Copies of this chain bind each other. A is one copy, B any other.
Amino acid sequence: MQILITGAAGMLGRKLTKRLVEMGFLRGETIRQIDLVDIAESPVIAPICSSHVADLTRPGVADDLLTPVPDVIFHLAGVVSGEAEADFDKGMAVNLDGTRALFDALRLAHGSPRVVFTSSIAVFGAPFPDPIPDDFHLTPLTSYGTQKMISEALLADYSRRDFFDGVGIRLPTISVRPGLPNAAASGFFSGIIREPLAGVQAPLPVSREVRHSHASPPTAIEYMVHAAELDSSLLGTRPNLTMPGVSVTVGEQIEALERVVGPDAVALIVEAGDPVVAEIVAGWPQRFDARRALDLGFTPDESYDAIIRAYLEDDTP
């Protein structure tokens, strides 16, 4: 079993690498090699890992990575939503052309590896029914969402034509995201938990009634592993799946924080209404009926309390 991970140096890439090393096997076979690809060096945490600094948008790079063709590819590489919106050319080059370069290299190589592609609920755009069913159309409101949607369409067609064996998983917002606050409009969903747990004040830019769908990092990793292992014949010609999430309001997130660690943390959340953030967030999906993924065995976090506990266990210093 040889595995390739793109975007391996990112937060999810590192956690996926760690999980695979711990598992030791995938699809019933011993993992002998994990190639970690990113534009920066990836941490080499075990002898079976090797780091490759490579840019998929450059000609020939994808072909080099596929000699020999891995058994399973986790394609996580991409620039994030805010960057793809601010720098249109870069978003198209990395998120669309980079993905297509990888898919085309696979098409021209021998073998039919499982390709797990991490898409995003950014493929959806308001207005929505509540909950959003699996057969709701994709009308993204960002270039990032558009690039993910197009990558999904390519994955479906390339899989239908047996160029490879693809599974696309639309991840909910990942929270609690470890690390420093960032400028993403969604950043506060993690910030209002992470900062108080570190004894730091956290601004809340939206109303407590705002509803959103979450998955913890370990659950997102389990989604990827399950997508690598599942019988793709069960997907028919629709290999792109909305992942289940924990749908809660901001108020319910805060109540969960109080239940898990008490009122002192909650006191550090400071109302700081931001109409710009509020408007962006209003265009995002709130709740999914992710029936197909649930039926296929993708299991969400139990509650937002469980999401906070996962962060405390895995990521607090």
Contacts and interface: CB of A to CB of B under 8 A. Distances in A.
A154 B138 CA distance: 12
Interface of A: 88, 125, 129, 134-141, 143, 146, 149-150, 153-154, 156-157, 160-161, 237-238
A160 B146 CA distance: 11
A161 B147 CA distance: 14
17 contacts: A88-B161, A125-B237, A129-B135, A135-B137, A137-B138, A138-B153, A139-B156, A139-B237, A139-B238, A140-B156, A140-B157, A141-B160, A143-B161, A146-B153, A150-B153, A150-B154, A153-B153
Given A125-B237, A237-B125, A237-B141, A154 B146 contact: yes
Task: Give the top 9 A-B pairs by smallest Cβ distance, nearest first.
Answer: A146-B157, A135-B137, A137-B137, A150-B150, A139-B238, A146-B153, A149-B153, A150-B153, A143-B157
Contacts of A160: 141
A53 to B, nearest CB: 29
Contacts of A143: 157, 161
Contacts of A154: 146, 150
Nearest to A139: B238
B141 A138 contact: no
Query: Quick one: copies of this chain in the complex?
Result: 2
Given A143-B157, A143-B161, A146-B153, 17 more contacts: A88-B161, A129-B135, A134-B137, A135-B136, A135-B137, A136-B137, A137-B137, A137-B138, A138-B153, A139-B156, A140-B153, A146-B154, A146-B157, A149-B153, A150-B150, A150-B153, A150-B154
A129 B137 CA distance: 14
Nearest to A134: B137
A284 to B, nearest CB: 13
A149 B149 CA distance: 10
Contacts of A141: 160, 237
Contacts of A135: 129, 136-137
Nearest to A157: B146
A271 B14 CA distance: 62
B139 A146 contact: no
Nearest to A144: B157
Contacts of A129: 135
Q: Which of A136, A139, A149, A238 lies at the interface centre, i.e. has the most chain B CB atoms within 10 A of its CB?
A: A139
A140 B154 CA distance: 11
A146 B154 CA distance: 7
Of A136, A141, A150, chain B has the most CB atoms within 10 Å of the CB of A150
Nearest to A127: B236
Contacts of A153: 138, 140, 146, 149-150, 153
A138 B139 contact: no
A144 B53 CA distance: 35
A73 to B, nearest CB: 20
Nearest to A148: B153
